[in-house]
Structure 1
Amino acid sequence: MVWISLVLACVYFALNSPVIAFPEKTETLHGNQNWKLAMKKIEELQKIVRFQEDRINSLEKRREEPAEKVIELQRILKNHCGRITQLETRVIELESTLKKEKEPIAIHPIEQGLDSLKPTDISNNRISVFRKERLLNLQPTSLPMERVAFYAYLSTHDTTSSAIHHIIVFDKVITNVGNAYHPHSGTFIAPRSGLYVFTWTIRQHGTSYHVTEFLVDNNIVNVIYMDPGNVMSGSVTGTVVVHVNQGDDVLVRTGSNSNNGQIISDNSGRSAFAGWNLM
């Protein structure tokens, strides 16, 4: 940047020096073809400088985006570490309970004296019944199911939604229990395998129309289409009940055809995405 400015200054002073020293030649220089070419070059260099400045400003803004993603990943990692600690504590408790259950069952002193009063087989039968009753009274302990639920919508109109297979990024998060939805990418990543319910709503207006696809692990599960017919504004909603494996990506994108205009989302109606686990 600095060297370009210096070159421009040198060219400017070099070209204007004859005019200052010899005023009588001013008219001749202005009519000279070389003078005109030099001035044109200066204008082109100035445009290049402005373009480079805009480019640098754009790169500086883009550099801030990865930092936000790193912060989000750190928050998710911290949450997962807390969940792991809770599960480890629960496992220790279960191991302690299981160890106590395996300890020999104490025989009541009265039953110990039965050998001298009754035949051996009767005494053994009573001890066996006592042990079975103890085992039947044990209640199995299960880990509580962790809940997962999210809801997000478009904070502004999606002006790039006419592109093929464009992932719709529902960036405004209202609910994110389990932190499995990622607003920067518009993707839900299943924290565990199970049965889930998902729903999404797309709003259109005027000449806009779109096909939107619901994908699980890059497989199309459901498709909806909306065309208001240039006479109204409206919305369409799709719902899916599907089994999702741990680590699968779940998202909504535009289809391979029949996409035009933008997807609308404002105070008069939201384009949104939501989901939760059933079991």
Structure 2
Amino acid sequence: MCSVIFLLVLAASPALISTRLVNSYDNFPEESIDAREKTSLGPYSTMDDKTDTTDGTTEENQLITRITALEETIKHLGHKPVAFHAVRDGNEYPHLGINQHIVFGTVLLNIGNGYSAHHGIFTAPKAGLYIFSASILSYNGPKTSLFAADIVKGGYLLARLYGHGVNGYHDQGSATVVTQLKAGEQVWVRQAWPPNDSLYGGRYTTFSGSLISF
């Protein structure tokens, strides 16, 4: 008998539950039903439901962020590159004194016009991170086969080059540096030792640089 009663109650339960839900739904105020319908969307809620429009600042801030990013992109695209490459032509480059500028007189590239072929000096047209490289070939005379040279920034030593040819042979030295420059700061290569020295040209002796970041 108990089993039969249990089965009858179980069979009737869905109908009773459904009736109670309908009655409960009918008893909700209209505004509460609308609220329930909105929240029932769950993960399918629209972006408009999540937008903070209490003071209008959210959309405004997003717009400002996008405009700022666009301005930065345009600013970077507007920057022209800076690069140069200069060499020594001919054979002997004689009579170099201590601390004398080594002039690389043949200019093969000079974007931004930062390098002076007359003085052998590079002047930064804009601030940024630069890379410079110099390579020098010694002369092969018995008294001029040795050289020591410097890459300097405003007279401050950045790197040194050295070469010492023997038995009539040349020797080559090179160095590469990366340095931060302000607009107007200068970089050049100078003879360090010995006095009254000679170097070899033939485009073995070169000086180059480029702006890599600003």
Q: Which moved more, 1:239-248 or 1:229-238?
A: 229-238
**Greater RCO (CA < 8 Å, at least 6 residues apart):** 2
| C-alpha deviation, 1:274, in angstroms | 0.1
Amino acid at match of 1:126: T
Q: Is the 8 A contact 2:84 2:111 kept in 1?
A: yes
Partner of 1:265: 201
| C-alpha deviation, 1:243, in angstroms | 1.0
| C-alpha deviation, 1:167, in angstroms | 0.7
Partner of 1:248: 185
Show CA shifts across 1:102-148 (max 9, x none): xxxxxxxxxxxxxxxxxxxxxxx63535x422431333112123311
> Does residue 1:278 correspond to 2:212, yes or no?
yes
**Pair 1:245–1:230, CA change in 2 (3 A):** farther
Amino acid at match of 2:152: L
Partner SS state of residue 226, structure 1: strand
User: How many Å separate the matches in 2 of 1:193 and 1:158?
Assistant: 33
Amino acid at match of 2:171: G
User: How many Å separate the matches in 2 of 1:167 and 1:253?
Assistant: 4
Considering fraction of residues, name the structure with more helix.
1
User: How many Å separate the matches in 2 of 1:173 and 1:210?
Assistant: 23
Partner SS state of residue 61, structure 2: helix
| C-alpha deviation, 1:234, in angstroms | 2.8
| C-alpha deviation, 1:231, in angstroms | 4.3
Q: How many residues align?
A: 150
Which of the numbers 95, 117, 120 marks the counterpart of 1:183?
A: 117
> Does residue 1:128 correspond to 2:62, yes or no?
no
Partner SS state of residue 133, structure 1: helix
Show CA shifts across 1:168-194 (max 9, x none): 111101110101111111000011221
Show CA shifts across 1:204-227 (max 9, x none): 132321110111011111111110
Amino acid at match of 2:67: Q
The correspondence of residues 4-83 of structure 1 with structure 2, limited to 5 A, is none
> Does residue 1:153 correspond to 2:94, yes or no?
no
Q: Which runs of 5+ in 2 are unaligned?
A: 1-51
| C-alpha deviation, 1:248, in angstroms | 1.1
Partner of 1:139: 67
User: How many Å separate the matches in 1 of 2:111 and 2:103?
Assistant: 18
User: How many Å separate the matches in 2 of 1:234 and 1:164?
Assistant: 19
**Pair 1:242–1:219, CA change in 2 (3 A):** same
Q: Is the 8 A contact 2:151 2:187 kept in 1?
A: yes
Q: Which structure has the bigger radius of gyration?
A: 2
Considering fraction of residues, name the structure with more strand.
2
Partner SS state of residue 263, structure 1: strand
State TM-score, norm by structure 1: 0.50
User: How many Å separate the matches in 1 of 2:94 and 2:139?
Assistant: 13
State TM-score, norm by structure 2: 0.64
User: How many Å separate the matches in 2 of 1:180 and 1:196?
Assistant: 12
Q: Is the 8 A contact 2:102 2:190 kept in 1?
A: yes
**Pair 1:132–1:219, CA change in 2 (3 A):** same
